[in-house]
């Protein structure tokens, strides 16, 4: 059973106040890159894995998807998602993606935003998603970048000139990481870039696009603290295709 930190009240209260949760995609800096990868969603049966507050589910509904299934392990997140104006296009389900079984060939597009670094068995989930898609389907997801998940302690070290850099002594050692983000003891899983790409290709997906997101000049001007993303990208954006 996964940790389910989003049902920890202290974590949830802080997470709910993040710009990307208050304003949805307008507050998600990587959204313009992600949205450019989406196929036409009209009439598609869509699954959103780790749907959170349901921002993408509602977006897909606005694009006239046939149906949208939002899956999340957290009762808090699903309950918030359900609090937005209802529409019969969207179905929310509480489930652990590390154990989920999906009906085969039942979706035409799969999507996930910033969830897979919480998943222990990445390869199993990718196979489950692959099997749940019909042929000629796209799958677009974001995941925390391996360079971001690698450090054991998420710790900044400083050299004698005062230059700061992230401790990256454990990149090739995959597995569980405990980080202190919003609260202490948040469990995530680090995988190298090779493992991520290799898992997708071995399962049968065709890699269409990959981006290590960085802010534009304008975004940097508006949000100077995002300059960290230039030296240590946080978001990895991937688009794959099932032939």
Site residues for ligand SAM per CB under 6 A: 2, 6, 50-53, 55, 72-74, 77, 96-98, 113-115, 118-119
Nearer to ligand SAM, 67 or 76 (CB): 76
Which parts of 45-121 fold into alpha helices (H)?
Answer: 55-62, 75-83
Q: Which residue lies nearest ligand SAM, judged by its C-beta?
A: 52
Give the residue carrying structure tokens 């870039």. 193
Residue 187 beta carbon to ligand SAM: minimum distance, rounded to whole angstroms: 9
Residues with Cβ within 8 Å of 130's Cβ and at least 6 positions away in sequence, in order, are: 139, 203, 204, 205, 242
Nearer to ligand SAM, 77 or 129 (CB): 77
Which parts of 84-207 fold into alpha helices (H)?
Answer: 122-132, 146-149, 193-203
Cα 118-119-124 angle, rounded to 5 deg: 170
Structure tokens at 214: 């960085």
Nearer to ligand SAM, 53 or 205 (CB): 53
Nearest Cα residue to 209 out of 229, 236, 233, 234: 236
- Of all helices (H) and strands (E), which one includes residue 229? helix 228-231
Residue 9 beta carbon to ligand SAM: minimum distance, rounded to whole angstroms: 14
Q: Are 156 and 166 in contact (CB under 8 A)?
A: yes
Residue 222 beta carbon to ligand SAM: minimum distance, rounded to whole angstroms: 21
Residue 73 beta carbon to ligand SAM: minimum distance, rounded to whole angstroms: 3
Nearer to ligand SAM, 62 or 169 (CB): 62
Nearer to ligand SAM, 11 or 161 (CB): 11
Strand order in the sheet with 235-242: 90-94, 67-72, 45-49, 107-113, 133-144, 235-242, 206-212
Residue 229 beta carbon to ligand SAM: minimum distance, rounded to whole angstroms: 16
Nearer to ligand SAM, 53 or 107 (CB): 53
Residue 29 beta carbon to ligand SAM: minimum distance, rounded to whole angstroms: 12
């Amino acid at each position: 059973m996964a940790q389910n930190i989003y049902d920890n009240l202290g974590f949830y209260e802080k997470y709910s106040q993040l710009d990307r949760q208050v304003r949805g995609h307008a507050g998600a800096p990587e959204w313009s890159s992600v949205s450019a990868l989406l196929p036409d969603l009209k009439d598609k049966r869509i699954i959103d894995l780790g749907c959170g507050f349901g921002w993408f589910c509602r977006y897909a509904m606005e694009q006239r998807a046939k149906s949208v299934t939002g899956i999340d392990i957290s009762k808090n997140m699903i309950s918030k998602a359900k609090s937005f104006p209802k529409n019969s296009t969207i179905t929310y389900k509480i489930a652990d993606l590390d154990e989920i079984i999906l009906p085969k060939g039942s979706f035409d597009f799969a999507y996930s935003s910033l969830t897979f670094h919480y998943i222990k068995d990445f390869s199993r989930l990718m196979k489950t998603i692959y099997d749940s898609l019909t042929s000629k389907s796209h799958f677009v997801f974001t995941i925390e970048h391996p360079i971001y998940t690698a450090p054991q302690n998420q710790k900044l070290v400083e050299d004698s000139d005062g230059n700061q850099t992230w401790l990256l002594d454990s990149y090739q050692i995959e597995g569980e990481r405990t980080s202190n983000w919003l609260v202490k003891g948040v469990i995530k899983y680090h995988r190298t870039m090779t493992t991520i790409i290799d898992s997708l290709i071995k399962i049968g997906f065709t890699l269409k696009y990959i981006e290590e997101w960085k802010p534009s000049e304008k975004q940097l001007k508006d949000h100077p603290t995002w300059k960290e993303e230039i030296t240590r990208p946080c978001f990895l954006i991937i688009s794959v295709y099932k032939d």
